[in-house]
Amino acid sequence: MTRFDKLLKTIKKNNPNSDLDMVRLAYDFAKKAHQGQKRMSGEPYIYHSLATAQTLAEIKTDIATIIAGILHDVPEDTDVKLEEIKKNFGGEIEKLVEGITKLGKVKYRGIDRYVENLKKMFIAAAQDPRVMVIKFADRLHNLKTLNYLPEHKQKRIVEETLKIYAPIAGLLGVWRLRWQLEDLCFKYLDNKNYKKLKEKYEIKQQKERTRLINKVKKIISKETKKDNIEYEINGRFKHLYSIWQKMQNKQKKFNEIYDVFAMRILVNSISDCYKMLGVIHTLWKPKKGRFKDFISTPKPNGYRALHTTVFGPEKKLIEFQIRTKQMHEEAIFGIASHWRYKNPTQPYSKWMDDVLRIQRNAKNSKDYMKKLKFDIFNDRIFVFTPKGDVVDLPIGATPVDFAYQVHTEIGNKCVNAIVNEKIERLDTKLKNGDLVEIITEKNRKGPNIDWLKFVKTSIAKNNIKKYAKNQGIFSTLISKIKH
């Protein structure tokens, strides 16, 4: 089975009504565009495009997102323009690909500066968060082929993934991708401990987990028959990086971390969640203070489930998570799951609103990752300097506003602007993702007071007014403002 056949099979399984002809067209289009290009691994470039799309299909995103995943590197790495993607695949897919292309413009020059720049672009992309999901899938495959890159690049990619991509994936509820991103990074971050934990957890404990799961299943099945509850039960997979973090942060040994055995139960309805909780509490004594009802009171990111810890068979502590199948998909796929429903905007907007509401007053980049604040940027645009830095401006801002945001003297001496490689007027309204370069005149004495008619930022207005006052033309300035 070819990589493309595998992709079609996954799409058909998870999205049976999808238009596979459009997927085939996208594959042919991308394959032709990337013809002759190879990755550092020596593989054809199209393999990366298919790997990205495969991840998106596995987390059950909508077909537009999967197609955009196939096409995501075409405008950046080939001669094909966004206009051709729009012509062949429509405006929705073109916008998703454009969002990925904009994220690709951010240049890495030190982690702190990179965090500040990239977080703004993620916020801009939040107009359609599927852009971020595609970026996570793209990064996941890059990590899987990281061994082909020089060590200094490996270190940089691991660092930015752990500080930027993984936390945002978690914030948006795409836990399946966050776990994979973190575990792949852990492999390069501390390979010795990675191998040690992998052997202990995935190999040595496997028999014990299987034995206990089977024992719990047998006990529960007798009770659930009485209440006619249909369910699935399995051991909850722990992720190596999270184990390692707990060991570091709490200064505990591996065995101390694993005094609690975790299991997950999936049922068909909310009422069955509470029935199953009753069954478990009837069978085993609950541990005091370890019950949480995230169904009646969901977490801010929309997470719903019942959590309880009990003294189970052999007096072993067992943590149960009880949720419906839909809750489970939302928990591991996050925003990606919302596009599977006929009216995705309603559940998504409520869920996203709750996430956005808690993000306030971030003190620094580290705090920002905990409290990612989208809402203050609702009326902002994000544009690039020629060096790849990101400048945020209010909607309606012009190249003059941009110039003053970069440096006062650049604003004072600007005479022309190049926007997306075209000369534009200084009163041109900038748009999200524009690449802006300011042409200055060394001997220019100061700004033109006529700029006050169109500038939007206070820094531009204040500097123009200050210059006018110093030149003794403040009365002329006031007159121009009134008119």
DSSP 218-283: HHHHHHHHHHT--EEEEEPPP-HHHHHHHHHHTT--HHHHTTEEEEEEEESSHHHHHHHHHHHHHH
Q: Which residue has the tokens 């599927």?
A: 130
Count other Cβ atoms within 10 Å, centred on residue 432.
Answer: 17
Residue 388 backbone phi and psi in degrees, to 5? 95, 5
The pair of three-digit structure tokens given for residue 440, joined into one six-digit string: 């200055």
Q: Is there a contact between 123 and 115 (Cβ–Cβ < 8 Å)?
A: no
DSSP assignment, residue 93? H
Out of 21, 28, 62, 77, pick the active-site residue. 77
The two tokens of residue 358 are: 């808690």
Q: Name the token pair of 234.
A: 């399995």
- The verdict on whether 77 is a catalytic residue reads yes
Q: What are phi and psi of 262, to 5 degrees?
A: -110, 135
Q: Collect all residues with Cβ–Cβ distance below 8 Å to 55 and sequence separation of at least 6.
A: 69, 137, 140, 141, 177
C-alpha distances out from residue 173 to 65, 66, 125, 307, 355, Å? 17, 19, 16, 18, 10
Buried b (16+ CB within 10 A) or exposed e, 213-229: eeebeeebeeebeeeeb
Distances (CA, A) of 129 to 50, 119, 173, 282: 21, 13, 11, 43
Report residue 441 as tokens. Answer: 């005149």
* Residue listed under structure tokens 């899987």: 144
Amino acid at position 188, single letter: Y
Residue 86, classed as helix, strand or coil, is helix
Q: Are strands 317-324 and 260-267 parallel, antiparallel or unpaired?
A: parallel
Q: Minimal CA–CA distance to 465: which of 403, 442, 439, 457?
A: 457
Query: How far apart are alpha carbons 296 and 60 in whole angstroms?
Result: 26
Query: Which of the residues 76, 116, 293, 354 is marked catalytic?
Result: 76
- Residues contacting 417, CB < 8 A, separation 6+: 399, 402, 403, 423, 424, 425, 426, 428, 436, 437, 438, 439
Question: Are 372 and 168 spatial neighbours (Cβ–Cβ below 8 Å)?
Answer: yes
Cα 415 to Cα 399: distance, rounded to the nearest angstrom: 10
Distance CA 164, CA 261 (A): 30
Would residue 76 show up in a list of annotated catalytic residues for this protein? Answer: yes
Residues marked as catalytic: 76-77
